[in-house]
Amino acid sequence: MFVSAAVHGDELNGVEIIRRLLTLKNFKITKGTFIAVPIVNVYGVVNQSRYMPDRRDLNRSFPGSDKGSLAARLANTLLKEVVAHCDYGIDLHTGAIHRSNLPQIRANLADDVTLELAKSFGAPVVLNSEILEGSLEAAATCDTRVLVYEAGEALRFDELSIRMGIKGIVNVLCYLKMMPSRGARVKKATSFIADNSSWIRASASGIVANYFNLGDQVKMGDVLADIGNHYGKTLGQVIAMKDGVIIGKQNIPLVQECEAMFHIAFFSGPSQQVSKKIEHVEQELVVNTESSEQLL
């Protein structure tokens, strides 16, 4: 199994997840092979940029080729030298710049093996991903089952996202019996699988007064934010069109009309349960765990 981070060079939580995971005293692989690639897009990390120096998005450059652009060559090298040797993989991402994601797993849930793997991670929300052309996930789907972990914001460390990432990787390794399961780890985590998701967009351009956070439950008709001008006049409201849970949001308090503001996941069951579960996981990870060591 491989775990990769910083395919997008400004998405740093995954770098920290792998760095901490590898130094945990109890982290021991007893079966199979674990390959950690803490920084895939080295150029992007150095430049604090999502992209490659040739301005290409590495996660749109797979499978690449050994004679193509810099992005194509790096994509191809990772695919041939790492991904092709693995049965499973977890690619660690964050929201784009100025956007935060609630910790979530995205994967091709039409495949039963991938679905079970996604559930074993233990993130509160699992989404069926549209597989983007040129992504690592798209290039790997035939022989390698890949989960994408999305958590936090670009260029920031988010403690909850990091801890959930470490715990999730360990959960998957235990599920695959590459690490021995002990005590608490056996307790199966429940994930809520979203039917689908969509972004709610700004209804006006202006200054944002935001009333909701990541993980909050929203009901149809809720006012998620007001958008006003700089003299205090309200210009528009951002309203939830359906019940769901906020799994992504933009963080800049200024928007242009039609800009994506809130990413909402929709569930068949009551979304209240999902919100409660998220709160519970947050408490467990942040309040009850003083060090990453206790995650094992």
User: Which residues would be at the binding site for Zn ion (CB under 5 A)?
Assistant: 8, 11, 93
In the complex, the smallest distance separating the C-beta of residue 93 from Zn ion, rounded to whole angstroms, is 3
Element of type H or E holding 138: helix 136-140
The answer to whether the CB of 66 falls within 8 A of the CB of 73 is: yes
- By C-beta, is 44 or 122 nearer to Zn ion? 44
- The two tokens of residue 165 are 């990432």
In the complex, the smallest distance separating the C-beta of residue 92 from Zn ion, rounded to whole angstroms, is 9
In the complex, the smallest distance separating the C-beta of residue 122 from Zn ion, rounded to whole angstroms, is 21
* Cα separation, 67 vs 70, whole angstroms: 9
In the complex, the smallest distance separating the C-beta of residue 106 from Zn ion, rounded to whole angstroms, is 11
- By C-beta, is 249 or 277 nearer to Zn ion? 249
- By C-beta, is 42 or 223 nearer to Zn ion? 42
- 63 strand-pairing partners: none
Q: Please tell me the number of Cα atoms within 13 Å of 224 on its side-chain side.
A: 30
The CB-nearest residue to Zn ion is 93
Q: Could you tell me which of 85, 91, 90 has the C-alpha nearest to residue 32?
A: 85
In the complex, the smallest distance separating the C-beta of residue 8 from Zn ion, rounded to whole angstroms, is 4
The answer to whether the CB of 111 falls within 8 A of the CB of 55 is: no
- By C-beta, is 93 or 249 nearer to Zn ion? 93
* Cα separation, 32 vs 25, whole angstroms: 19
